[in-house]
Every structure is written in structure tokens, then in C-alpha cells.
Amino acid sequence: AACHIGVNIIRAGMSLQQQMRQGTQGRQGQCTQHQAHVQRRVAVVVAASSDGHRLHTALSQAPAMHSAGPGLAPCSAPTQQRPARRSAVLVRASASAPWKKKNSRLVLEDGSVWTGVGFGAPGTEVGEVVFNTSMSGYQEIMTDPSYKGQFVSFTVPHVGNVGINTEDMESDKVHLGAIIVRDLSISTSNYRSSISLDEYCKKQGVMGISDIDTRALTKALRDTGCLVGVLTTDASKTDAELVTMAKAWTIVGKDLLSVVSCKEPYEWRQGTTPEWEFAPHLKAAAGSAPFHVVAYDFGIKLNILRRLASFGCRITVVPATWPASEVLKLNPDGVFFSNGPGDPSAAPYAVENAKAILGKKPVFGICMGHQILGQAFGGKTFKLKFGHHGGNHPIRAPGGRIEISAQNHNFAVAPATLPAGVEVSHVNLNDGTCAGTIWEEKRAMTIQYHPESSPGPHDADVCFEPFVEWMRAARAVHAMV
């Protein structure tokens, strides 16, 4: 309403100032009463402008004031002057606000309440709140099974501008509990986009909240550590009730591997498509006989499967609980342990399977696979304060090489608990935590981060090479026997 009143003031003022210029042009000092009269009209209009109706009335009364204003003699300006133009425009304020009202709450276990605008599906969800520092790739993050049980707050402020496409999924659905953004894009602009982020969340039944101060939220999580939160659009629930819900839930001790894993084995042979292949030399180096890899699906990302295939592997994907004896019956060239969500110490069956395979076949683990194999080596895991989530984490690799990596994990392997013979090969340069191990005697390698780089930089793609070389060497030895 204030904007509309301002428009009326400007228009009225311009009209009256025009009269002043016309009535005094060439006659400065001859008609001071006329000048004073016009100035008084402007003052009356401005005083009346707090209400659209009063402004319209004031403008309608202006001609009478011109002929004989209170206490003023009629103006003696020459009659040949062009008469002043009068106009009145009444612009009424909109019945509703032009912005969306805040209708959603994120309540954390520390009692803090963050109000915002809900999008996607309505309802109430509980999960661990983490922040992700990636500048792009929200679609890949949302469909990463490793985020099961978590809410992801994006530190990049503008999310949703490229929509959602059918090609960049990391699984067949969204696994995280909710997404938190500063600003949800009101438009979508990308040649591959088929649906908006809001529409996609609605179809997937995933909650979202925007207009949250994600910078302040990130600082709070860095200071206190990851917090459990409840996101709701239900106005009937009190803040106290939501805090109680948050305090009653924890991700520690939860086995989520079997929740997100496939239910039956399946085969995978599709590598990275030529359009997106950033290492075209791999196909020529792979040879005609692909390596057979059995991959444990703890929540495996599709781009890991694509990268293994690009390195010359055909993959048999098996459920998280698949017995090691059944894996060994397939006589694979190597065994892969994938990424996944939850607490690694809550999946002892996975650790026992890894122990049974260790030393019999070359093995490679990524993210959760790194933590499962770390326990199989004899080590222990612990929970990080706020985890590593993003596409810009620096890693010191063997030989002093520095890699910029994509990461997503809340737990880590404690190096001091690893047995002799296991080398900490990769170190996170942000906090010094273990980011990778090698046990040469057992032909075992683990990486805490995501060398498949989806989303993220391609620096760590070389991490697949030692695993492939071990399989190639084992095949050569077998051929000589």
C-alpha cells in the first residue's frame, strides 16, 4: 500500500509542480500568491496521501483551491497561459501479500526454531540435520542413498535453478528426509530439465523448506555439531512437542544399509556415456575381457557402477546381507564395498562378510565400505562432530599429491586402532582424519570420500586404478598356474 501511495504522491506532485512552472514562467516576483497557493496544494495532497480515498478527494478539490484558497486572493496570472492539467489515479493495494507466508518450522533438539516457507510434500519428518558445501549437484545429493535419515541444508543460497533431469540420478529415488535452502528458484532454466525441484519433491513425497537463514544454521551446526531436527507443516504441533520428538531420535546405532540396499542381485555393465566421459583412455586400456567385480550394495551410487564399468569391469551387485560364501562361489576378480548411510558399527554382518573375503580376493571400499573394511581390519569407528559433506575437501594422497574431493560421511576410522601392516594412505587436510587406507598384504584399499565424483571434482578418479591393477595381476598369476 505504501508503494501505491508513493506513486500517487509523485504523480500529484509532478502535476502541481507543472502548474507552478507554467504559472510563474517569465513572471518571477509578479505572482507570489500563485506560488504559495500551488505549494500549499502540494502540502495538502501529501498530508492526505496516507489513504487512497483521501488522496483522490484532495485531488478532486484542488481546482476550487486554485480559484480562491483560504486566505488567498484570486490569482492574477495572465489568462492566456495554458490551463493546468489535472489528473487523479487511484491505485488500491493488493488484497494479499506478494510473497509467500512462512508456513513451515524446523525445530532442532537444542530448542531452536527456524521458520520458513514449505515446498514439496507437506507433513512431519525427523532426521539428523547436516550441511553440504557443494556449489552444484543438488539432484545427485538428493538421490544419494547415503543421506538416508538426514536433512541436508545447502550452504549455496540459490537452489533449484536447473530443475531436475532424468539422467543425473544416483539412485531410483530420493533417500534423504528433507532439504533446507535459503532461496528456492522461482524459475527453471536448463536444456535437460524435465521438472522443477518443487514438483519433483512433491512426486517423491519429500519435504523442503526455504527462506531459512542457512548461513546461521550452518554456523550453529559447526559450533554444536550435528543436531536432530523435526520439520513440519502441521501448525497444531507445539514447538515443545517437536523438541521432544527430536530428542527421542538418533542416527547412532541405526543400521540403514539393509534399508536402502537392493533385494536381489543384478548385473551392471554400463559405463560413463561418451558425452560425460572425462577419461577416454580407460576404454582402450580395459582390454576385451572385463574384470568380474561383485559389489556389495550398502546404498551404492550409480556413478560408482559407471566408473567401475569404464575401468573395464562387469559388475554383479548383491544385497548388503549377501553371505560371503555366496560371493566367493561366483569366483570374482575382485569385491567392492559401497557407500551407504547410518552407523557403520551397527552392521556387524557386513563386517563379518568382509573379514571372510579379506585376503582371498582384491577388495576396494568407498565411504561406508571404507568404514566396514576398517572394522574388518581390526579398527574402530567414531562419529565426527558435524561430518564431511561437500565437493571441496582437500586430501593428501600418496606421494604428496593433493586431491580436491567430494565427501559425505558422519563417521570415520580411528587410525590408532588399525593393526600393523595397514597404512593410512590418504589424510583429510581440513581436520587430519583418516581418508584412506592400504593393506598391501591383503590387496585391500579403502577411500573415505567419493572418487566417482558425482557431484564433485574428478581429481580422485585415479583411486580406482590400484584395485584394477590388483585384479589384473591376480588374473595374470592365475593364467600361469
Element (H, E) at 267: strand 266-268
Alpha carbon distance 33, 11 (integer Å): 23
Angle subtended by helix axes 32-48 and 2-24, to nearest 10: 170
Q: What are the contacts of 217-224 at 24+ separation with CB within 8 A?
A: 217/114, 217/129, 217/131, 217/153, 217/180, 218/131, 218/153, 218/155, 220/108, 220/110, 220/112, 221/129, 221/130, 221/131, 221/153, 221/386, 222/131, 222/386, 224/110
Name the pLDDT band for 98 (thresholds 50, 70, 90): confident
Q: Is 403 labeled as catalytic in the residue annotation? A: no
* Confidence (pLDDT) at 45: 41
Q: Which of 241, 261, 9, 317 is nearest to 145 (CA)?
A: 261
Question: Which has more confidence, 22 or 474?
Answer: 474
Percent of the chain at pLDDT > 90 equals 71
Q: 201, 226, 313, 367: which is the annotated catalytic residue?
A: 367
Residue 42 has pLDDT above 50, yes or no: no
φ/ψ of 104, rounded to 5, equals -135, 150
At residue 162's C-alpha, the angle toward residues 157 and 166, to 5°, is 130
Q: Is 450 labeled as catalytic in the residue annotation? A: yes
Average pLDDT over residues 383-394: 95
pLDDT, one tens digit per residue, over 173-225 is 999 999 999 999 999 999 999 999 999 999 999 999 999 999 999 999 999 99
* Confidence (pLDDT) at 332: 97
Q: 109, 128, 403, 452: which is the annotated catalytic residue?
A: 452
Q: Is 241 labeled as catalytic in the residue annotation? A: no
Alpha carbon distance 414, 375 (integer Å): 10
Residue 52 has pLDDT above 60, yes or no: no
Percent of the chain at pLDDT > 70 equals 77
Buried b (16+ CB within 10 A) or exposed e, 138-165: bbbbbbbbbbbbbbbbbbbeebbbbbbe
Alpha carbon distance 345, 347 (integer Å): 6
Answer yes or no: are the C-beta atoms of 164 and 193 closer than 8 Å: yes
Give the global pTM: 0.79
* Confidence (pLDDT) at 4: 45
Cβ atoms within 10 A of the Cβ of 381, count?
A: 20
Residues 6+ apart with CB under 8 A from 333: 291, 292, 293, 313, 361, 362, 471, 474, 475
Q: 37, 175, 370, 450: which is the annotated catalytic residue?
A: 450
φ/ψ of 340, rounded to 5, equals 180, 170
Give the C-alpha distances (Å, rounded to integers) separating 26 from 17, 39, 81, 82, 134. Answer: 16, 18, 11, 14, 68
Alpha carbon distance 17, 46 (integer Å): 13
* Confidence (pLDDT) at 80: 55
